[in-house]
Chains A and B, each alone.
Chain A
Amino acid sequence: MAITVSETDMLEMYRRMTRIRQFEETTQALLLKGELYGSFHTSSGQEASIVGSCMALRTDDYMVGTHRSHGHPIGKGAKIDRLLAELMGKETGINQGKGGSMHLSDFGVGSLGETSIVGSGLPVATGAALGSKMQGNDRVTLCFFGDGASSQGTFHESLNMASLWNLPVIYVCENNGFGELTPTHEAVSVPDIASRAAGYGMPGIVVDGQDVLAVYEVVSEAVRRARAGEGPTLVETKTFRFDNHSIGMPVETPGHAEMLVHWRGNRCPIDLFDRALKEFGCDEVTLREIDAQVADEVSAAVEFGRTSPEPPPEAAFTHLYTNPIRIDS
């Protein structure tokens, strides 16, 4: 490690990773019981990539997520009660029940939403960075996207503009091995998506997406560059999704189950970090306390969601515009 991370920050990383995993395991169970509904793509397995990236940001920096982004606002520091209520479609949800699983957000912590058309968030993040640059502040924008999105035109258009205009943006490609169900090597023409950065004159860095400290170090350097006016960076985190593309889908890629045994057994980012923390001298009790505190937090969030009101029917018509107009019905 070229950079040092305080014990406080490392424990906060562990807490956020654990928060994501427990949030996902709990909400997935609620989905399978029928208490939640809608398409549901979990972040389990990708916690190190998320938290290592987000912890390199300030709260007032911006972030854009994807359809698989329950974890990203959590990584950015959002409270989970309103995220959970959003998954329940409740009035108290972060989007007041308008967005659901594929569109979580929390503008209060710089999470500018998540877009469920693959690749559509890249131009948005690029524009947020353009806005910050024009406003003369030193905020950066971090754009999460998947390996699948790296084949979209928006990826190439965005990187080209960001490099041309020297924008303070960090593109973090979470390569989890599959674009929906298709293995990445069947859809992406190069072994490392990070190598595509060369086509746009920016650094492209591959990092172990299961190692939170490695991700944090790489993204911190990219953030430093962006804040210093040195331009964008493409980071590729090699990771793995621990669940099916979408929970409850009847089809999964052949071989995923076998690979999953290896990844869950040997490459779980939380287990790996748990082990590393102990090597740094953290004691077991501290970590288990965090687990228990997070479990309480998640239970409280579920309770908050369950006891929250459904949105009133007229809410279907609010927020269509900031300056409302008459709506035909």
Chain B
Amino acid sequence: MHTVTYLQAINEALREEMDRDERVFIMGEDVGWNLLGATGGLKDRFGTERVRNTPIAEAGFVGAGAGAAMVGMRPVVDMLIAPFVYPAFDQIVSIIAKSTYLYGGQAKMPIVLRAPMLYGAGNAAQHSDRPYPTFMTIPGLKLIAPASPYDAKGMLKAAIRDDDPVICFEDWTLTGLRNEIPDEDYVIELGKAAVKREGSDITIVALAGAVPHALAAGEQLAGEGISAEVIDLRSIVPLDRDTILASVEKTGRLVVADPAHIMGSVASEISAIVAQEGFWSLRAPIIRVATPHTHIPFSATLERPLYPTTEKIVNAAKRAMA
């Protein structure tokens, strides 16, 4: 075992997969310069062909990743920050998500897009998005949001080995986390949520940066005599509805904590699934703790209160228990 940060875990996943499979390569803006800290040392180890700095041309290099994937490569395209997916939106939606389907299975699309989400850091509306709900509406993509160094490594490795396109939404509010992880190779199957804390009174499903808050809330609630089961969703598509429904069947109550905007959110989708398929288990209304449907302001005073916090999750759980 050794201890790594969230970024070190990503770096290890990239390095090990590039060592393992020469078809794997990285490209994106400034990947060779390790601008955000996840690609350090890779250019020296693998060279500039496989750690390829690109022009600032997201549609171009994301689409080039798709083309390379179609002829047998396994690109990991680094979006630098998540909102930079927008100039590449057509390539992601029309080409990456649809080519396997459109051509009746002739095309494989083994591509990973890494989308680091840098919110809560004074970057204002255009740089702070958590855009996974937008992509959840598009069939053909797989979406993951690891919330720990352990998951970041194991899920990114699984994504790179998957024959389908995966967007890895990395939550950079978690970069301070450290985990002990195994020294040997491991992968985490995509589509499996993790029960991080068992409980019997209420289910708290959280994803990405909301997970540590949900765990802290579980701890606090325990001190007040409320037994919360905390589930880290980990994977958005496929969505592990079985684990969520089984938990709600046991607890009868559900809070969903999601750092994205509340409208059309993952929290909304989970709420709808539970309302439709777990309705008779519910003993209280489902509560979503997500970001209000407003833009992210620059002012820290304005921005800080918008995202899910431990306090908000605790309060939501108490309302559900009332």
Instruction: Write the residues of chain A forming the contact surface with B, with a CB cutoff of 8 angstroms.
Output: 62, 64, 93-99, 103, 105, 107, 112-113, 115-117, 120, 122-132, 134-135, 139, 141, 153-154, 157-158, 160-161, 164, 318-323, 325-327
Considering the chains assembled together, what is the distance between the CA atoms of A96 and B60 in angstroms? Answer: 29
Q: B96-115: contact bitstring with A at CB < 8 Å (1 yes, 0 no)?
A: 00011111111111100000
Q: Closest residue of chain A to B105, judged by CB?
A: A319
Asked if residues A93 and B104 are in contact (CB atoms below 8 Å), the reply is yes
- Using known A-B contacts A120-B94, A126-B64, A127-B69, determine if residue A322 contacts B99 with beta carbons closer than 8 Å: no
A102 smallest CB distance to B (angstroms): 9
Considering the chains assembled together, what is the distance between the CA atoms of A141 and B70 in angstroms? Answer: 12
| Listed stretches B11-19, B49-57, B201-209, B305-313; interface member | B49-57
**B122 at the binding interface (Cβ < 8 Å):** no
- Using known A-B contacts A113-B107, A120-B95, A325-B191, determine if residue A127 contacts B90 with beta carbons closer than 8 Å: no
Q: B107 contacts which chain A residues (CB < 8 A)?
A: 107, 112-113
Considering the chains assembled together, what is the distance between the CA atoms of A97 and B59 in angstroms? Answer: 28
Q: A153 contacts which chain B residues (CB < 8 A)?
A: 57, 59-60, 87
- Using known A-B contacts A320-B139, A321-B142, A322-B164, determine if residue A127 contacts B66 with beta carbons closer than 8 Å: yes
Asked if residues B109 and A161 are in contact (CB atoms below 8 Å), the reply is no
> Can you show 8 pairs from A to B with CB atoms below 8 A apart?
A99-B102, A107-B107, A124-B67, A131-B70, A135-B71, A141-B67, A321-B164, A325-B142
| Most chain B Cβ neighbours within 10 Å, of A96, A97, A124 | A124
Q: B162 contacts which chain A residues (CB < 8 A)?
A: 323
Q: Closest residue of chain B to A165, judged by CB?
A: B52
| Most chain B Cβ neighbours within 10 Å, of A99, A105, A116, A322 | A322
Q: Which of B122-166 contact A (CB under 8 A)?
A: 139-140, 142, 162-164
Asked if residues A124 and B103 are in contact (CB atoms below 8 Å), the reply is no
Asked if residues A96 and B140 are in contact (CB atoms below 8 Å), the reply is no
- Using known A-B contacts A124-B63, A320-B139, A325-B142, determine if residue A113 contacts B103 with beta carbons closer than 8 Å: yes
Asked if residues B66 and A321 are in contact (CB atoms below 8 Å), the reply is no
Query: Which 6 pairs, one residue from A and one from B, show the smallest C-beta to C-beta distance?
Result: A123-B63, A127-B67, A157-B60, A127-B64, A96-B104, A157-B57
Asked if residues B164 and A128 are in contact (CB atoms below 8 Å), the reply is no
Q: Closest residue of chain B to A122, judged by CB?
A: B63
A213 smallest CB distance to B (angstroms): 30
Q: B101 contacts which chain A residues (CB < 8 A)?
A: 98, 319-320
- Using known A-B contacts A157-B60, A158-B60, A161-B55, determine if residue A123 contacts B105 with beta carbons closer than 8 Å: no
- Using known A-B contacts A98-B102, A99-B103, A157-B55, determine if residue A132 contacts B140 with beta carbons closer than 8 Å: no
Q: A154 contacts which chain B residues (CB < 8 A)?
A: 59-60, 63, 91
Chain B residues within 8 Å of chain A by Cβ, number: 48
8 Å CB contact of A322 from B54, B94, B105, B237: B105
B152 smallest CB distance to A (angstroms): 21
> What is the interface of chain A mostly: helix, strand, loop, or mixed?
mixed
Asked if residues B140 and A125 are in contact (CB atoms below 8 Å), the reply is no
Q: Closest residue of chain B to A327, judged by CB?
A: B139
Asked if residues B73 and A135 are in contact (CB atoms below 8 Å), the reply is yes
Q: A113 contacts which chain B residues (CB < 8 A)?
A: 99, 102-103, 106-107
**B6 at the binding interface (Cβ < 8 Å):** no
A313 smallest CB distance to B (angstroms): 16
Asked if residues B108 and A130 are in contact (CB atoms below 8 Å), the reply is no
- Using known A-B contacts A127-B64, A128-B68, A157-B60, determine if residue A94 contacts B95 with beta carbons closer than 8 Å: no
Asked if residues B104 and A94 are in contact (CB atoms below 8 Å), the reply is yes
- Using known A-B contacts A134-B25, A322-B163, determine if residue A161 contacts B64 with beta carbons closer than 8 Å: yes
Q: B3-26: contact bitstring with A at CB < 8 Å (1 yes, 0 no)?
A: 000000000000000000000010
Q: Which of B23-39 contact A (CB under 8 A)?
A: 25
**B41 at the binding interface (Cβ < 8 Å):** no
Q: Which of B46-89 contact A (CB under 8 A)?
A: 49-50, 54-55, 57, 59-73, 75, 87
**B238 at the binding interface (Cβ < 8 Å):** yes
Q: B55 contacts which chain A residues (CB < 8 A)?
A: 157, 160-161, 164
Q: B75 contacts which chain A residues (CB < 8 A)?
A: 127
Asked if residues A120 and B63 are in contact (CB atoms below 8 Å), the reply is yes
Q: A64 contacts which chain B residues (CB < 8 A)?
A: 67
Q: B73 contacts which chain A residues (CB < 8 A)?
A: 130-131, 134-135
